[in-house]
Structure 1
Amino acid sequence: MNYYRPTSKPSTASNPLKILEIVAQYGTGTTAKEITDALQMPQATAYRVLNSLVADEYLARTSDLRGFALGHAISGLITAANPPTVPTAARSLIEEFRRGNRFAVHLVMFRNASLRIADEDRDYPLHSAFEMLRYPHASAAGKLMLAELGDSASLVPRGPLTKLTQHTITNSGQLEAQLAEIRVKGEASEINELEQGSASLALPVRLPDGPVGAALCLSGPSDRFTTIYEHAEAAREMTTRLAPLLF
């Protein structure tokens, strides 16, 4: 076994990650002593962090209570770190749809109440990808995800929302009203809210009677949104064909 050899003592902020790394490397049954020895960490600090990780289910105690193993909450971190898998048949279908219009077509998937870019249009790449992922209240795909969640308020900060452009919704009450409308219409849109000069329409991808797991987004210049919206019905039909290939 290649044992962990720290180059320096871990900082307080990195302690949980370092402990998880040790348990992942040593395997099920890793003891507190092995962790403190490997990290040169005070015993009291190690036990405090271990108890916290167990409470949050990132670690689990072994049946004999002598050691630790990775907990099921780790799967969420792994899922977040890995890009979404899009089957070849689904990618081919999206490419076929792209050839039929003059605007960007992106597939954005929902994972653990966050957005993941699953298939980006290579001809029209996203200019504000980071902002879309970080501020769901400002994007069409983000609003669609928030509208589908049972408790969207828990994901929206209290107080003023981050303003990306002069058109970004910054009032949580106004956002909630828009989310209610999205639930009724079954689609979400934004014009100049994520990026000045751009617009997007997001349509849900779901199996019949199932939750929305992704959004098919049509994007382009904001002054062409009316033309973009003319493709809405064709895009909606595409989501019906796409859903069984994705889920």
Structure 2
Amino acid sequence: MNYRASHSNAASNSFRILEIVARLGTGTTAKEITNALQMPQATAYRILNSLVADEYLVRTSNLRGFALGHALSGLVTAATPPTVPTAARTVIEKFRSGNRFAVHLIMFRNASLRIADEDPDYPLHSVFEMLRYPHCSAAGKLMLAELADSAPPFPKGPLRQLTRHTITDRGQLEEQLAEIRIKGEASEINELEQGSASLALPVRLPNEPVGAALCLSSPAERFAIICEHSEAARDLTSRLAPLLF
């Protein structure tokens, strides 16, 4: 078998394995996968290890099964943006009209970020990186801070460094997440992309988990201007929550 045919077959088998895990759900075992696909164990284990390494699958806590991973969630997120009610879009657009910085609505679903309403005048940059590496963005850190008490906030292994300012030390990141929970906001300057900055404020109903982030973004040198509008943005989040949830 030539390289092209072999590569195509491996890709096909990878998709078949992901489909089985999606259908059977969290905890799907290697035996269940090999039985369902009639695939040799050696082939299945080789592909499973590769999918885990690339974060398309993760091992369950007991190490006996598998679940869909963060990388796959990011791909699905990018392809299927959530529906935002017209009333919510109208409120956001009114806020945008009086400011000269980006205003984005990012929703949280299944421990992943979902772009719900992107500012048409100031489109998001580094979208793939934001979706896949939440520790690098303000919205992502806000989500990780919310998840910290109920689930592992970030995957095992080294944290990806996108710029020289990206936090890659787990202890330092955990301290920042604790501070975010106290302050009720998250920020990043030059961490996701050199030259950019963002402030993320939680959108939530009273006594409910944070379900989205209202993100104010601008060039890094204008971050202080964003902060001057934080109170007005908080007022917007309180009006958005009942429209979204």
CA deviations 1:110-156 (Å, max 9, x no partner) are: 01000011111010011111111111111000000000002454523
Taking a change above 3 Å as real, the CA distance of residues 20 and 243 of structure 1, as seen in their structure-2 partners, is same
Q: Are 1:139 and 1:194, in contact at CA under 8 Å, matched by a contact in 2? A: yes
Give the aligned partner of residue 126 of structure 1.
Answer: 124
Q: Are 1:146 and 1:152, in contact at CA under 8 Å, matched by a contact in 2? A: no
CA deviations 1:94-123 (Å, max 9, x no partner) are: 100101211100000001000011111010
d(CA) in 2 for partners of 1:20, 1:104: 36
d(CA) in 2 for partners of 1:77, 1:115: 7
Runs of 4+ aligned residues of structure 1 deviating over 6 Å after TM superposition are 19-22, 55-58, 76-79
% identical equivalent positions? 69
Q: Are 2:135 and 2:167, in contact at CA under 8 Å, matched by a contact in 1? A: yes
d(CA) in 2 for partners of 1:246, 1:198: 28
Which runs of 5 or more structure 2 residues have no equivalent in the other structure?
Answer: 21-36, 49-64
Give the aligned partner of residue 101 of structure 2.
Answer: 103
Superposition pairs of residues 54-133 of structure 1, within 5 angstroms: 80=77, 81-133=79-131
Q: TM-score, structure 1 length as denominator?
A: 0.71
Q: TM-score, structure 2 length as denominator?
A: 0.71
Give the aligned partner of residue 154 of structure 2.
Answer: 155
Report the aligned-residue RMSD: 3.2
Which runs of 5 or more structure 1 residues have no equivalent in the other structure?
Answer: 1-7, 23-40, 59-75
- Count of aligned pairs: 200
Superposition pairs of residues 160-175 of structure 1, within 5 angstroms: 161-175=159-173
d(CA) in 2 for partners of 1:201, 1:77: 21
Query: SS of the counterpart of 1:102?
Result: coil
Letter in 2 for 1:105: V
Structure exhibiting the larger radius of gyration computed from Cα positions: 1
Q: Are 1:158 and 1:172, in contact at CA under 8 Å, matched by a contact in 2? A: no
Structure with greater helix share of residues = 2
The alpha-carbon deviation at position 241 of structure 1 amounts to 0.3
d(CA) in 1 for partners of 2:19, 2:182: 45
Letter in 2 for 1:202: A
